[in-house]
Amino acid sequence: MNVASSVPGSSSPGHGAGQLLSPVDRVGEVIFGLIMALTFTGTLSVATADRNEVRSMLIGALGCNIAWGLVDGVMFLLAALTERGRNLAILKEVRNPSNPARARELILDALPPLVASTMQPQEVDVLRSRLAALPEPGRFWISFADLRMALGVFLLVFLATLPVALPFAFIHEAHRALRLSNAIALVMLFLGGHFLGSHAGRHPWWSGLLMLAIGVVLVWATIALGG
């Protein structure tokens, strides 16, 4: 939990001020939208598909990602409100002078494990005194920054559909469009994994190939299960 995010003027939980979404969140939303789009393009039979079937597939893929983008955006707002309320409750407990041991435990739980493991009790008490000196938080509600991030979530899920769906809109031969669409999807999956690997300090090429394999398996499983 991020105790500081419950104070006035703070941004949504897990994100810095002025930052739309963390890099990992952005890649995750794009991959999610991409997999959703692939569950539609992967069911198209290029041998028998006509323009009406391709059109229906495009409408289905776009409509599905619009719906899931809306769901993701709303869930982001609900999660932000829930975490902010929880942070406010934690801050009140930390300020309670009658239970310093509980306050130290809450502060350590709010820190990354590696950082918490290096903290001495005196250092935790310093953090507690600084938190106690903060001004009293006011009411928390959905802010403009929250709405901006929720819109970002929606756009990432929706826009991930377009590179995969566009070949079907401009190429009349279904088999050629599907090959190009699949090639774009594979490149996007690899790039997503490559970025996550670099961000995590792992080998980016192996991470890209792993994400590529995971994406293919997830798409296959989703189609097989009727998704």
* Average pLDDT, integer, range 84-103: 82
Segment 123-142, tens digit of pLDDT: 888 888 888 888 877 777 88
| Structural domain includes residue 9 | no
Segment 50-82, tens digit of pLDDT: 667 777 778 888 888 888 889 989 998 998 888
| Structural domain includes residue 154 | yes
Instruction: Let me know: does 69 contact 153? Beta carbons within 8 Å.
Output: yes
Segment 9-56, tens digit of pLDDT: 333 344 443 445 677 888 888 888 888 888 777 776 655 556 677 777
Range of the domain at 91: 21-224
| Structural domain includes residue 11 | no
Query: For position 49, what pLDDT does the model report?
Result: 59
| Structural domain includes residue 1 | no
Say which residue, 193 or 18, is predicted with more confidence: 193
Query: For position 8, what pLDDT does the model report?
Result: 34
| Structural domain includes residue 14 | no
pLDDT confidence band for 226 (50 / 70 / 90): low
Structure tokens at 115: 């950082």
| Structural domain includes residue 98 | yes
Tell whether the model's pLDDT for residue 119 goes beyond 60: yes
Query: Which candidate, 74, 71, 80, places its Cα nearest to that of 36?
Result: 71
Weakest mean pLDDT among 63-77, 100-114, 164-178 = 164-178
pLDDT confidence band for 175 (50 / 70 / 90): confident
Q: How far apart are CA 145 and CA 77, in angstroms?
A: 10
| Structural domain includes residue 8 | no
| Structural domain includes residue 5 | no
Query: For position 206, what pLDDT does the model report?
Result: 92
How much is the mean pLDDT over the chain?
A: 79
Instruction: Say how many domains are in the chain.
Output: 1
Say which residue, 18 or 180, is predicted with more confidence: 180
* Average pLDDT, integer, range 85-113: 83
Q: b/e string for 80-91 if b means 16 or more Cβ within 10 A?
A: bbebbebbbebb
Query: For position 54, what pLDDT does the model report?
Result: 75
Angle between helices 144-159 and 51-95 in degrees, nearest 10: 150
Instruction: Let me know: does 85 contact 4? Beta carbons within 8 Å.
Output: no
Instruction: Let me know: does 108 contact 131? Beta carbons within 8 Å.
Output: no
Instruction: Let me know: does 11 contact 147? Beta carbons within 8 Å.
Output: no
Query: For position 6, what pLDDT does the model report?
Result: 38
